[in-house]
Amino acid sequence: MSPVVEKAVVVVFDGLRPDLIDETMPNLQAFAAESLNFANARSVFPSLTRVCTTSLATGTWPESHGIVGNAFHLPQVLQGRAVDTSDFEHLARIRATLGDIVTADSLGHALARAGKKMATVHAGSAGSAFLVNHEAAKHGHWTISVHGEGKTQTPEAVRRAVAACGPLPEMEIPKIDATGYAGRVLRELALAQDRADVAWLWLPEPDTSFHFREIGSEASRKARRAADAVFGEVVDYIRSGPDAERTAILALSDHGQISTDEEVDLAAALTREGLTASTTPDTDTKLAMVNGATGELRALREDPALLPATTAFLLGHPKVGAVFARDELCERLPGALPQSLVRHGHARAPDLFFVMRSDDGLDTWGLPGRRAYTGGVPLGGGMHGGLNRHEMTTTMIWNVPGGRIGTETAPTSLVDVAPTLSMLLGLTLEAEGRALPVVAADSVDFKILEEPGQGGDGPFVLRRFQTAGRLYIDCLEAA
């Protein structure tokens, strides 16, 4: 495979909804005008950062890569609580116990096989930084987490960052300092000193401010401006440098967010029905649970009536939008949809995913998208993880030297990023996504598949795209 470019730079705006690329983000707007914008880009399910990160890194769905949630219960790894994939030590526990953290090939592996280097500067969680290139140290690559030397596989790279750019940033919200610091480290180390073949910059904004300062707030606008300024500096640096005509630039987000309007204590409701559920299970617990916009439930008892009763309760609860069960369980769980519809089925997948209700109504800021959730952020803050259109729709803008400019309506997802980068760089990668038509147009058509279902808050349709022999998740919406 002949390479199209020699280098690639990927900038991730965590949580950025495409409809919020406005006057607060002039650099990204200008970049989009001279690039190829995928208007039907979608996230994966659950639309949670570490699930998304791993799909970006591997080009595969959670059914293959095994990171099935931001947190998920693995009793053989950790007792009494869920494994938290934002936690560097918890990922190390998975490796020590199971051998593999990620059960798929990755872009990092593909680069290493070709003798090429990848550098990652990450201002989000330490776990997300880990998952961008989960065997970075083994490959001779490096990853810098702003959380410090003890929170990365390559602590020497953090020491280099401090030497070149000063002390690690403060983490106040909005994370202006962390965003700016990450941009400086990318330019100074990844681009200037090391001239990495692939460089990733993961910005924590606007995701953090959306969560904790609300999506439409001035604080969140400030966060978007800061992220945009850093992006503009990175693009200017690339274009003024010696590799400008040989570097592809990708701007994208991993998911969107919508505003929370109701917090539901689902664990308490289950427990009142005799279905004892807890996020910190003990010997009295029947169901291990994870909270959020989407959560999981795992049966801890060999009771054939437990999951049918749990599913019936969830589907009768007015704040639950949908339930997805492991495929082999669906026959005895009426109303639950098979997890394979949303590309799950890994050995680590839970018995049940529940998705809390959401709609496209306007929030207090006049933005579409509202949801119930079971905890994690202040009420009114932004949330993601579910299948609402504004959670699932992502930013994806490719700028390839000699490539296409304009708008592409063909469906795509995060799983197409690594295969497309591999195609551009002439790499071989085992992936489930496809290489996107960023250089020359293709004539692939797509159709929309609709799977009807019934949740506690009413009937719905799960929409999926079918194109190029592949299926992509679109969204879940009221029927």
pLDDT, tens only, 39-85: 999 999 999 999 999 999 999 999 999 999 999 999 999 999 999 99
Instruction: Let me know if residue 137 belongs to a domain.
Output: yes
Binning pLDDT at 50, 70 and 90, where does residue 3 land?
A: confident
In a shared domain, residues 334 and 456: yes
Percent of the chain with pLDDT over 90: 98
In a shared domain, residues 287 and 390: no
In a shared domain, residues 138 and 243: yes
Neighbours of 279 (CB within 10 A): 18
Q: Where do we find the tokens 């934002």? A: 86
Instruction: Let me know if residue 375 belongs to a domain.
Output: no
CA atoms lying within 13 Å on the CB side of residue 262? 13
In a shared domain, residues 100 and 249: yes
Binning pLDDT at 50, 70 and 90, where does residue 1 land?
A: low
Neighbours of 468 (CB within 10 A): 18
Beta-sheet strand order (sheet of 470-478): 446-455, 458-467, 470-478
pLDDT at 2: 73
pLDDT digits (tens, 9 = 90+) for 424-449: 999 999 999 999 999 999 988 899 99
Binning pLDDT at 50, 70 and 90, where does residue 86 land?
A: very high
In a shared domain, residues 420 and 299: no
Amino acid letter, residue 52: C
Query: And the tokens for 439?
Result: 């250089």
Q: What's the whole-model pTM score?
A: 0.98
Query: And the tokens for 463?
Result: 């929409």
pLDDT at 444: 80
Q: Rounded distance, CA 314 to CA 174, Å? A: 36
Residue 456 has pLDDT above 80, yes or no: yes
User: What is the mean predicted confidence (pLDDT) over 105-122?
Assistant: 99
Q: Give the closest residue to 202 by CA, choosing from 256, 149, 252.
A: 252
In a shared domain, residues 251 and 272: no
Instruction: Let me know if residue 148 belongs to a domain.
Output: yes
Contact 133, 157 (CB under 8 A): no
pLDDT digits (tens, 9 = 90+) for 289-318: 999 999 999 999 999 999 999 999 999 999
Residue 96: exposed, middle, or buried by beta-carbon count in 10 A (0-12, 13-18, 19+)? exposed
Contact 437, 408 (CB under 8 A): yes
- Mean pLDDT value across the chain: 98
Question: What's 336's DSSP letter?
Answer: P
pLDDT at 38: 98
Instruction: Let me know if residue 435 belongs to a domain.
Output: no
pLDDT digits (tens, 9 = 90+) for 367-419: 999 999 999 999 999 999 999 999 999 999 999 999 999 999 999 999 999 99
How distant, in Å, are the alpha carbons of 254, 279, 450 from that of 173?
20, 27, 40
How many structural domains compose the chain? 2
Instruction: Let me know if residue 380 belongs to a domain.
Output: no
pLDDT at 63: 99
In a shared domain, residues 120 and 238: yes
In a shared domain, residues 399 and 293: no
For residue 466, the enclosing domain spans 260-361+450-478
Residue 3: exposed, middle, or buried by beta-carbon count in 10 A (0-12, 13-18, 19+)? middle
In a shared domain, residues 48 and 135: yes
In a shared domain, residues 252 and 202: yes
What's the CA dihedral at 385, 386, 390, 394 to 10 degrees?
50
Neighbours of 172 (CB within 10 A): 10
pLDDT digits (tens, 9 = 90+) for 6-27: 999 999 999 999 999 999 999 9
Instruction: Let me know if residue 444 belongs to a domain.
Output: no
Binning pLDDT at 50, 70 and 90, where does residue 454 land?
A: very high
Strand segments (E) across 292-403: 294-299, 320-325, 337-338, 352-356, 358-362, 368-373, 382-383, 396-399
Residue 291 region by backbone torsions, left for phi larger than 0, else alpha for psi between -120 and 50, else beta: beta
CATH of the domain at 173: 3.40.720.10
Instruction: Let me know if residue 373 belongs to a domain.
Output: no
In a shared domain, residues 174 and 315: no
In a shared domain, residues 324 and 281: yes
Instruction: Let me know if residue 90 belongs to a domain.
Output: yes
User: What is the mean predicted confidence (pLDDT) over 135-150?
Assistant: 98
